[in-house]
């Protein structure tokens, strides 16, 4: 199967944090994005209405938005 590129617009701060997080796990941004996409698809196929992060949201306080937490969670798996 061939590869194709995509273009997305993203907040600079979010991209910086994403890059740092990917590097912590020894991944390139492209690898982390691919993994995130795969996990998103798998989660959707299971029909999960709530993600682990949204379930945990009421337990722990965070300065990050739910979206930022989701992205960090996806990268960490």
**Whole-angstrom Cα distance, residue 34 to residue 29?**
9
User: Residue 23: what pLDDT?
Assistant: 94
53: Cβ contacts below 8 Å, ≥ 6 apart: 66, 69, 70, 73
With a threshold of 0.85, does the pTM exceed it? no
Domain spans of the chain?
A: 12-76
User: Residue 24: what pLDDT?
Assistant: 93
Q: What are 15-73's pLDDT values in tens digits?
A: 999 999 999 999 999 999 999 889 888 887 776 556 665 655 555 555 667 777 777 76
**Whole-angstrom Cα distance, residue 25 to residue 21?**
7
Query: Average pLDDT in the 1-16 region?
Result: 89
Sign of the alpha-carbon dihedral angle for 66, 72, 73, 75: positive
Q: How far separated are the first and last CA of the chain, in Å rounded? A: 25
């Amino acid at each position: 199967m061939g590869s194709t590129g995509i273009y997305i617009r993203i907040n600079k701060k979010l991209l910086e944090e994403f890059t740092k997080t990917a590097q912590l796990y020894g991944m390139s941004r492209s690898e982390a994005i691919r993994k995130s996409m795969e996990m998103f698809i798998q989660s959707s196929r299971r029909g999960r209405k709530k993600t682990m992060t949204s379930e945990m949201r009421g337990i722990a306080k965070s300065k990050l938005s739910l979206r930022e937490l989701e992205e960090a969670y996806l990268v960490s798996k």
